[in-house]
Amino acid sequence: MEPVTIGVLGASSFALAQTAPAIHAARGTRFAALATSSAAKAEPFRAFAPDIVVHRDYEAMLADSAIEAVYVPLPNHLHVEWTLKALAAGKHVLTEKPIAMTAPEIDGLIAARDRTGLFASEAYMIVHHPQWQRVRSLIDEGAIGRLRHVDTVFTFDLPDAGNIRNRAETGGGSIPDIGVYAYGSARYAARAEPVELTSRIRREHGVDVWTQVTGTMAGPTGEFSYGALTSTRLYPRQEVTFQGDDGLIRVTAPFNAGLVGEAQVHVVQGTTTRVERFPAVRQYVLEFENLAATLRTGAVFPWTLEDARGTQAMIDLVRANEV
C-alpha cells in the first residue's frame, strides 16, 4: 500500500517539534513537502527528513500534484482560509485545533468537505490516545456509576507578549489554545453537551489569559455539573476528574501525554485505586496513522468536523456567558 504523501503548510515550531516528526514516523504516511519562504526554517526539518521538497509559498504546495494531503499548523486565524484552499486544490486536509474561530465557520468547512468528497478534519490528537479511549469506555460501562461531576484544569505560564498565543489578531488566548482540550475532552469522554455555562475571564491586551467555567452538561445518563480552569499565566498543571455515584476516574497528563508525565488512568472505587498506565504512546503518530488508515482503507477517523463544531460551539457559549 502506497504511503499517503503529506505536505506541511508552514514551518512552525510546533510542526518542527511534534507533528512533522510524527508524520515521518507514522506507518502509512510520508512527510513529502514543506511550504516556507525561509530556507533557514526548512533546515531543521531536513535534518530528519532530508528528501522533503521545500516550496517557497503555500500556493505552490497546493499545486504540487505529488502531495495527496496537507497538514495545516498555521496561526488560528488562518485555519479556515487554508483548509478551504486545500480542499479547493483537491487535497485532503488535517488542520490544527481550533480549526475555526466560531462554530458557524465550520459549517462552511463541512459543506466544502461534502461538496469535494475529500477528507477534512481537525487535528485533535487526544482522541487518538488509548488513555482517552479507555476513559470513554469506562464511563460507557458504568465503572463509576452515573456521572455526576467533571473537573478540568489545564494551565501553563506563557508571558511572552509576542507569542501568537498571546496576540488577539492571530486568534490567541487560553480559550482557543487549551480550552479546546478542557471542554472537548469532557464532550468526548462523557458523550455530553453543555446545558448551561457561566464564565469568568481575565484578559491582557485583548486576549484571555485566565478563564474559569462552571455549569452543567448532559450525557447519556443525565445532567452533571462541570468546572474548568484554563490559564496561560499559571504554574503548569493538567488534570481531569470524572466523578460518579460509585467512584471516580482521574486522568493524569491528559493533554500533553509523555511530555508532562506518563499518561495514566486512575480508577477509584471505595478504598481501592486501580492505575492503568500508557507509557511511550505517541499520540501524534497515532493521529497520522489513523489518517492513513482512513484514506487508504476507509477506516473511521476518530474526530470529525461535526465533533470540532460541537467543541467550538461550547467555546462560543463560554465567551457569550461571561459574568
Task: Give Cα separations from 206 to 202, 316, 320, 322 (angstroms).
Answer: 9, 16, 15, 15
Other CB atoms closer than 10 Å to residue 288's CB: what's the count?
28
CA angle, 278 then 283 then 285, to 5°: 125
* 299, 293 Cβ separation under 8 angstroms: yes
**Catalytic pick from 41, 85, 91, 97?**
97
Q: Report whether 144 contacts 198 (CB < 8 A).
A: no
Residue 68 to residue 41: CA distance in whole angstroms = 23
The CA distance from 14 to 19, in Å, is 7
Instruction: Tell me if residue 91 is catalytic.
Output: no
Say if CB 29 and CB 53 are below 8 A apart. no
The answer to whether the beta carbons of residues 55 and 64 sit under 8 Å apart is yes
Q: Which residues contact 51 (CB under 8 A, 6 or more apart)?
A: none
Catalytic residues: 97
